[in-house]
Chain A
Amino acid sequence: MGKQETMTTTTTAPPKLSASTLLSDQANDRAMQKSRGAMQQALSRFRRQKLAMVGLVIVVALMIFGFGAPLLAPTGYADANLMDANQFPSSAHWMGTDTIGHDFLSRIMYGTRTSLLVGFAAVAVSMLVGIPLGLLAGLRGGATDFVIMRIIEIMTAFPGLLFAIFLMTVLGAGVGNIIIVIGLTSWLTLCRLMRAQLFSLREQEFIIAARSLGATETAIAVRHLLPNALAPIIIAITLAIPSAIFAEAGLSYLGIGINEPTPSLGKMVADSAPYVRVYWHLGVFPTVAIGLIMLGFSFVGDGLRDALDPRQM
């Protein structure tokens, strides 16, 4: 649905853009202004969406909550006093304490930081792998495309979780490794999306025009194809972040993610299982934190999609 729409619009705006870039700097500036106008329109559309703004507020708040942990958290994540263990939320410990005597609020804050870090970094890794491969497949086509698509098919056929477990077992636990593993198992969507975009753009008139004016393939790729393919990629990235966070939670839940005492929300949920019937706070807070992260990014992602959706232009 959205993809088809995207293609039609990209045809309307860019031909002017491509022509103007080849004409003069002045024209180029004008085109930039135009595209800035489009961007501003998108932004204002984004701002008009209540859910998206709520999502944005949640995401920003969680980022402050998580990345601000070293400054804001009451204690370090490894600090514990066993004699304070198993306390319910109180004025001294807003979220209570866990079975070892960690201040649970601090654990949740650092856990959120871990989750966000994994989310951003893993998506960065999957971008680094997926986008160049997608560009390569989409631009070169032919044998290159064939090989890349077969790799993607093989990886799709192989359950992602199983592959992640395998990689984690080989690499060992740790934040760095989990980022690599999630990145390496989640680049497929980005790669396929990139390739599909290029395939549809490649045959557009403005590309043919650029080519007939003597632009090199690289110039075409960088100046014309990439900017036009960007909108769906941005949306995909936004939505990939919560998936990556959830993947980390899943792997940590299985006990092959991140080592104690580094907190991870998924692991906190897993660890709470035998305790939650008595110490409800051990299960509720990390679950709510994961839920909020997912919700925030999903709202922002949906908002971005609607904002960048050409039907609204």
Chain B
Amino acid sequence: MNTMTSKNKETQRGLDKLTADMRPQDAAFMRRQFGRRSFLKGAAGAGAGLAAAGMLGASAFAAPGSLINAMMERAQTPMPLPDGAAPAEEQIWRITSDPAFAKSLDFYETVYNRAGGADLNSEGLVRMNRNFEIIPATAESWSGSEDGKTWTFKLVKNLTWSDGNPVTAADFVKTFQYAADPDHAWDFAWFWSGNIVNFQEAFEGKVPVEEIGVKQGADEYELIFTTVEPAPYLPAKLIYSMPLSKAALEKSGPFYNSKAETAVSSGPFILEEWIPDQQVTLKRNEKYTGTMNVPIQKVVAKLAAASTAFTMYEAGEIDQMEGMAPAELKLVNDDPDMKKELYQGVGDFACYYFFFDTTIEPWNDIKVRQAFSHIVDRDAMKQQIWDTQANPAPSFLAQGFPASNVDALKDIQKFDPDLAKQLLEEAGYPDGKGFPAVTITQRGGAAPLEVATIQAYASMIKQHLNIDAEVQSLDRQAFYADMKKIPLGFVSYGMDYFDASNMLGVWLSGGRHAWSNKDYDAKVNEATTFLGDEAERTAMFQEAEKILVSDVPAAFTFFITPNQLVKSYVAGPALEPDKNGIAAIHWPGYATMSTVPEEIWIADSAPKDRS
């Protein structure tokens, strides 16, 4: 996975058990996912059309055989490079990757410690295109049972691993069993816990992993998932399903993809060389049989701290970067050539916020929380810190995300220092007197944008409430492990799949934060499983979000709009506007869970002998 994905996702999720049984089940998800948004207006692309057909019909989806055949044919004959592309040997995609997190190339090995270039060694059942639509990858069709609890995926036949073995249901079964294996202690197990039958039980060691609800169907090209509750969103959630090779896992053990000798791939790339703390190089998997036409021939992830990315980009050592410091963005904007290489994306619709432990003093007093939410001067932050890298977030669901309602909610936590002072006085702390010292906890390795925002908030607490606020940094792992016990902290959450139930599920009782609200739980759960009218369902989610914003478990601060720098010689549809007019390499970036690998190449204007 490229830096964009690993960095974003890594930063956005807690290691805490955000179990899926807290995540609402969405009976109407499939039917609505695309109808609800305006994405399909004028949708013409085959993938989008197909996806829509599948979503809007019964809970079944099938790509016509002709399309699959066409895809297969394309993939199996060497694809001529697009017009204006540099010759094959120049098709190198170079990115950076933080060496601190570079441990594996496989999602099902570790999510939080993937190196750059991860998730190119196999392809999941589905992937996501630029318009956040789910399209087939290893699965050619799927269908759900009447009760929405049994999901059958038909795999594309004739897909093979680089060692010659076919890609079959057995690989997926083995991968999910490995994910649920308590000895493996996978760092992302919460994602499937309580969702797939027996996954949580197996992870807790109560039942053998063979009993989880991921099994082979009638033949080796049929895969069946069974879920605890009706789960029509399951296909969307399965963008995270890049399998490990059963044969390689049994033969070479975990981390077989971290060594070139044992690497096995069914994806477009395979490990060529991994020099620890220096570079991960992936070469083309010559035996790739999948459905993507990938122009890039080599992926190079240079292992360097994120803070050096900008310098490396300027020096022409990498082709793309994300996460500039505010002053770096200013340098870009002051340079007409570089400014042309700047793209503003939406990332994964992540919201960054200051959260309170609402179970302890003084944060259990809503007036205190309100006071602390009315002093966030988002407009000043936008002007002085974020610029184009983020937008003010007076609420939780970002513009463009399903059920987003920013305009209607923007006054609830609006910047109003006088009101804040008054609320603080009503709470018994006139002019901040008697208020305990405040410590804001930030996660280790926070990006410059985050750091500046947190420090600005600390100074606003002092300025408007006359309360001393200190900022402390906590090691990432400790931060996520103790998140519910942090009195006041700063964190973010971005989507894993494109539905309001995903983002709002984070705030359900017993979930990621200490806050608990029965009305909110009821509303979110009701909306998630609601089968009726689309607009009505959206309205329910919006009501839930209103409860969330009004009860102030957090002072919502900014929606990230990641700014990317992409060299001018990088070409392809990935950089053209999507249906919402947003041009940027979309989340989840250069990985097989996305269509980005086939939508990007190096133009012949690129300097020769890049390495």
Contacts and interface: CB of A to CB of B under 8 A. Distances in A.
B488 interface: no
Contact of A278 (B331, B377, B458, B475): B331
Interface in B377-395: 377, 380-381, 383-385
Contacts of A172: 472
Nearest to B446: A255
A273 B328 CA distance: 11
Contacts of B448: 274
Given A82-B377, A85-B385, 11 more contacts: A79-B462, A82-B381, A82-B456, A101-B384, A255-B473, A260-B458, A261-B470, A273-B307, A274-B328, A276-B327, A278-B327
Contact of B384 (A86, A276, A279): A86
Nearest to B471: A260
Counting from the closest, the 8 A-B pairs by CB-CB distance are A274-B325, A80-B459, A260-B471, A275-B327, A278-B327, A82-B380, A85-B384, A259-B470
Nearest to B439: A259
B459 A261 contact: yes
Contacts of A255: 444, 473
A173 B463 contact: no
A18 interface: no
Contacts of B330: 278
Given A78-B459, A275-B325, A83 B380 contact: yes
5 contacts: A78-B468, A79-B459, A86-B384, A100-B452, A275-B327
B472 A173 contact: yes
A100 B456 contact: yes
Contacts, number: 84
Contact of B463 (A79, A275, A276): A79
A277 interface: yes
B589 to A, nearest CB: 23
Nearest to A98: B455
Consensus secondary structure, chain A interface: loop
B469 interface: yes
A281 interface: no
Interface string A81-118: 11101100000000000011110000000000000000
A261 B385 contact: no
Interface string A260-284: 1110000000010111111100000
A185 B423 CA distance: 48
Interface of B: 307, 310, 325-328, 330-331, 377, 380-381, 383-385, 439, 444, 448, 451-452, 454-456, 458-460, 462-463, 468-473, 475
Nearest to B449: A274
Interface in A230-277: 255-256, 259-262, 271, 273-277
A259 B474 CA distance: 11
Contact of A261 (B326, B383, B384, B458): B458
Interface string A56-96: 00000000000000000000001111110110000000000
Nearest to B468: A78
Interface residues of A, number: 29
Given A83-B384, A173-B472, A260-B471, A274 B459 contact: no
Contacts of A273: 307
A279 B326 CA distance: 11
Contacts of B455: 99-100, 260-261
Interface of A: 78-83, 85-86, 99-102, 169, 172-173, 255-256, 259-262, 271, 273-279
Nearest to B381: A82
B326 A275 contact: yes
Contact of B472 (A79, A99, A259, A278): A259
A84 B472 CA distance: 24
Nearest to A276: B327
Given A80-B463, A83-B380, A261 B456 contact: no
A81 to B, nearest CB: 7
Contacts of B470: 259-262
Contact of A277 (B331, B444, B451, B458): B331
A143 B310 CA distance: 58
Nearest to B469: A261
Nearest to A78: B462
A99 B326 contact: yes
A102 B327 contact: no
Contact of B459 (A82, A86, A173, A256): A82
Contacts of A101: 384, 456, 459
B248 to A, nearest CB: 38
Contacts of B310: 274
Among B307, B325, B384, chain A packs the most CB atoms within 10 A around the CB of B384
A79 B458 CA distance: 10
Contacts of A262: 470
A279 B384 CA distance: 13
A61 B381 CA distance: 37
B211 to A, nearest CB: 41
A262 B475 CA distance: 20
Given A261-B469, A261-B470, A274-B325, A99 B459 contact: no
